[in-house]
Copies of this chain bind each other. A is one copy, B any other.
Amino acid sequence: MSPLPVAFADICAGPRSEIEAALARSVDPRPGVPPRLADAMRYSLMAGGKRLRPLLALWACEAVGSRREAAMPAAVAVEMVHTYSLIHDDLPAMDDDDLRRGRPTCHKEFDDATAVLAGDALLTLAFETLADRLRADHAAACCRELAVGAGWAGMVGGQHDDLDAEGRFDPTDDDPTGNIASPTDPESIHARKTGALIVASLRIGAITGNASQAELARLAEYGRHLGLAFQIVDDLLDATGDAPTMGKAVGKDVDSGKATYPARFGIDESRRLAERAVAAARDSLSELSGPTGPLESVASFVLDRDH
């Protein structure tokens, strides 16, 4: 059901190099900015990665019939927010990770205080980017969407409950259908920790492309399914992947008793749930006014990635 990885790489190449260039410009030295702080921000922001969220922002803009250039400030902003969340999540006070994308994490390369501040500054710069570079009505709508997706009822809330669930989730729970109303249920945690920023990336990209409310709703639905698939595959990779390919420590989720899909449903059923989520994501792309090919491809790619 999935296109060849080569084809997906081809689809990504152009937009991704545009994104890399825009990200690099966004952390160029500026007067009044401490060089070491800017270095830490740049170190983490320019560490590579899939650039999934900014790609989604650009492609959502295209999917509602606009040119992707319009969405570049949105793309930069969501990657800044994603990067800030990784920097803070890796801190000793949080997940305490030493390795990220094959390199020392920000607080290992710099220090804990600089990592806290670099994360704070990237989050703040994301909103500045939207407010400064989009026309006022788009800026206001995008700042709102980004704050909702990244905030206490979104990404930060999910991260809180993910930490809270460490060691408290019982993989032998005899109700495998799950109760998704429970705040420490993996689906609820994933929907907020990973899904909310993915949904926001799509919506703010689409807003900069003058999307209708109906289009925003379709893209949000796509994003919810995609985010779920993405997190299930993340859990599967943590349970079955190897550290050199992943560029980070693996097996940590199982070790820490985190509420993962494999822990709850097993490897095979988790894989099936991911496939079902990807199919639902692709179904959500009907009735959009622009080309949706890249968004269809990314859904399949999420399923097949190995890191």
Contacts and interface: CB of A to CB of B under 8 A. Distances in A.
A91 B116 contact: yes
Interface string A141-172: 10110111011111011011101100000000
A144 B160 contact: no
Contacts of A32: 153-154, 157, 192
A242 interface: no
A30 interface: yes
Interface residues of A, number: 58
B153 A124 contact: no
A255 interface: no
Interface in A199-250: none
A279 interface: no
Contacts of A146: 127
Interface in A102-134: 111-117, 119-121, 123-125, 127-128, 130-132, 134
Contact of A93 (B93, B143, B192): B93
A154 B117 CA distance: 12
A147 B164 contact: no
Contacts of A141: 131, 136
Contact of A152 (B92, B124, B159): B124
Contacts of A280: none
A24 to B, nearest CB: 16
Nearest to A91: B116
A146 B159 CA distance: 25
A120 B121 CA distance: 11
Contacts of A131: 140-141, 143-144, 147
Contact of A143 (B34, B127, B151): B127
Given A120-B123, A121-B152, A34 B164 contact: yes
Contacts of A159: 117
A137 to B, nearest CB: 5
A92 B111 CA distance: 12
Contact of A151 (B128, B137, B147, B152): B128
A139 interface: yes
A140 B150 contact: no
Contacts of A148: 128
A176 interface: no
A164 to B, nearest CB: 7
Nearest to A112: B93
23 contacts: A31-B153, A32-B153, A34-B183, A36-B160, A41-B152, A88-B117, A93-B93, A93-B111, A93-B112, A93-B116, A117-B156, A117-B159, A121-B156, A124-B151, A124-B152, A128-B144, A128-B151, A134-B140, A136-B136, A136-B137, A136-B139, A140-B140, A140-B143
Given A88-B116, A114-B160, A136-B139, 17 more contacts: A30-B153, A32-B192, A33-B152, A33-B153, A34-B161, A38-B152, A88-B120, A93-B93, A93-B111, A93-B115, A117-B160, A127-B127, A127-B143, A127-B147, A128-B143, A131-B141, A136-B136
